């Protein structure tokens, strides 16, 4: 539909409210709602605060009370029509006698997927859809990917030098970027469902993979992709289980061959998942999705990045470039030029002395 300036303005407010749930609603989407009466006054508003809590429409209706009768509801996502942990929002909307509902985007969840809009129209409520749809879709890109592709939305993140290196030499733990870039990384960790690394990263860097200096509302899953079960049970990761689970994803042959390693990892607190070796990363991502992981930052190393890239499993690329050169002894990352030829909407911003280049990947949205 062609939206009016008034519809645009109220939907912008609903989107602003929806974003307040960032990092809190997974695996549910972020949703905002605004109710406007015939005089153009906002009589109710709300957003989805956490999975299992009231939906945005319910909060807005509760605030509006009797003023909802004959009013217009602006909602960033199609109202639900099924019984989940909460009742169908379409029933509440009908009971409140709203005259019109304006929706930004349809709900891609197969149990809804247009049925909410159809139900409202069938019961005499005017529904207009598509107002600021692109913004609403981007806001919930992780949820959309999770329900439509049955895997998390994957951001491939790397820190590299000017000459394209990620380490000073093989096996060397190397810090390239500044504290400003580090703060951006930890702010992102506070919002996503999971961080993923290969076993080599654990062996070389022994990272904590926690969100530090940023408040996090939900447990953070740390996934280690480890086909050979090389992850040491002494890794620092296992001292951070209060932050969330550590999931070691391996293959059946490794778990059968290395039963002692498997037992030691389990004793250390690892949750070990076995997947088929063919299409290992795709299978691993799908297994994480079954664990309700909707978003994953793939932090390294190079072999994991290459495997995810070649399998078409990367949705966004983030390259932090530090103003240093490592030299010929350095460990090179992937071909940056080739990567950025395959992306859309490149954005560049400074983070202290570093530069962050971020873009979406063709064909995965």
Q: Residues 118-167: pLDDT tens digits? A: 999 999 999 999 999 999 999 999 999 999 999 999 999 999 999 999 99
DSSP string, 128-191: EE-TTHHHHHHHTHHHHHHHHHSS-EEEEEEEE-TTSEEESSTT-----S-HHHHHHHHHHHTT
Which residue among the candidates 2, 57, 63, 325 is catalytic per the annotation?
57
Q: Give CA–CA dist 16/27, Å, rounded.
A: 19
Rounded to two decimals, what is the model's pTM? Answer: 0.93
Beginning with the edge strand found earlier in the chain, give each strand of the sheet holding 271-275 in spatial order: 271-275, 246-251, 221-225, 194-198, 295-300, 153-160, 316-321, 354-361, 343-351
pLDDT given at position 365: 45
Token representation of residue 160? 């590299």
Q: Which of 267, 41, 281, 318 is nearest to 156 (CA)?
A: 318
Q: Is 57 a catalytic residue?
A: yes
DSSP category for residue 45: E
In 244-361, which residue ranges form alpha helices assigned H by DSSP?
Answer: 252-257, 259-268, 280-290, 302-310, 336-341
* Nearest CA-CA partner of 18 in 48, 63, 42: 48
Contacts of 152 (CB under 8 A, 6+ apart): 142, 145, 146, 193, 194, 285, 288, 289, 293, 294, 295, 296
| Tokens 């940056």 found at | 336
CA dihedral 268, 270, 274, 277 (to 10 degrees): -90
Question: DSSP per residue over 291-323, as a string?
Answer: TT--EEEEEE-HHHHHHHHHTT--SEEEEEE-S
Q: What pLDDT sits at residue 331?
A: 94
Closest CA to 162 of 364, 357, 314: 357
Contact 89, 58 (CB under 8 A): yes
What span, in angstroms and rounded, lies between the C-alpha atoms of 259 and 250? 12
Cis status, amide bond into 27, omega within 30 of 0:
yes
Cis peptide, bond prior to residue 236, ω within 30 of zero: no
Strand pairing of 153-160 and 100-103? unpaired
Question: Do the Cβ atoms of 170 and 328 come closer than 8 Å?
Answer: no
d(CA 152, CA 247): 15
pLDDT below 50 — which residues of the chain?
Answer: 365
Q: In what order do the strands lie in the sheet with 126-129?
A: 42-47, 32-36, 72-75, 100-103, 126-129
For residue 360, give the nearest of 339, 334, 335 by alpha carbon.
339
Q: What is the pLDDT of residue 80?
A: 87
Identify the bridge partners of residue 249 per DSSP, sorted by sequence position: 225, 273
pLDDT score at 112 = 86
Backbone angles phi and psi of 143, in degrees to 5: -60, -45
Let me know how long the chain is: 365
Nearby residues of 280 by Cβ (< 8 Å), 6 or more positions away: 225, 227, 251, 307
């Amino acid at each position: 539909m062609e939206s009016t300036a008034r519809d645009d303005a109220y939907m912008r407010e609903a989107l602003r409210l929806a974003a307040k749930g960032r990092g809190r609603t997974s695996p549910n989407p972020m949703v905002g709602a605004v109710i406007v009466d015939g005089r153009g006054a906002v009589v109710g508003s709300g957003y989805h605060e956490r999975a299992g809590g009231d939906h945005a429409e319910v909060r807005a209706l509760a605030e509006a009370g009797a003023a909802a009768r004959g009013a217009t509801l602006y909602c960033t996502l199609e109202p639900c029509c099924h019984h989940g942990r909460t009742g169908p929002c379409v029933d509440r909307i009908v009971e409140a006698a709203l005259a019109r509902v304006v929706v930004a985007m349809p709900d891609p969840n197969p149990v809804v997927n247009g049925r909410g809009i159809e139900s409202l129209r069938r019961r005499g409520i005017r529904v207009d859809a598509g107002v600021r749809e692109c913004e609403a879709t981007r806001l919930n890109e992780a949820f959309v990917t999770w329900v439509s592709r049955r895997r998390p939305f994957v951001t491939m993140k790397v820190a590299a030098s000017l000459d394209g290196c990620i380490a000073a030499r093989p096996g060397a733990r190397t810090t390239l970027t500044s504290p400003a870039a580090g703060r951006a990384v930890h702010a992102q960790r506070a919002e996503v469902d999971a961080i993923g690394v290969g076993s080599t990263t654990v062996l070389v860097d022994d990272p904590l993979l926690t969100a530090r200096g940023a408040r996090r509302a939900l447990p953070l899953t740390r996934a280690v992709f480890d086909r050979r079960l090389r992850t040491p049970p002494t890794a620092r990761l296992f001292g951070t289980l209060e932050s969330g689970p550590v999931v070691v994803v391996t293959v059946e042959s490794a778990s059968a061959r290395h039963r002692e390693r498997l037992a030691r990892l389990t004793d250390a607190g690892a949750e070990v998942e076995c997947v088929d070796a063919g299409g290992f990363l795709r299978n691993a991502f799908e297994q994480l999705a079954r664990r309700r992981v909707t978003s994953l930052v793939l932090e390294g190393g190079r072999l994991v990045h290459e495997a995810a890239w070649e399998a078409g499993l990367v949705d966004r690329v983030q390259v932090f470039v530090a103003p240093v050169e490592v030299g010929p002894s350095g460990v090179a990352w992937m071909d940056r030029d080739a990567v950025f030829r395959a992306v859309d909407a490149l954005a560049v911003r400074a983070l202290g002395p570093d530069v962050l280049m971020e873009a979406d990947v063709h064909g995965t949205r």
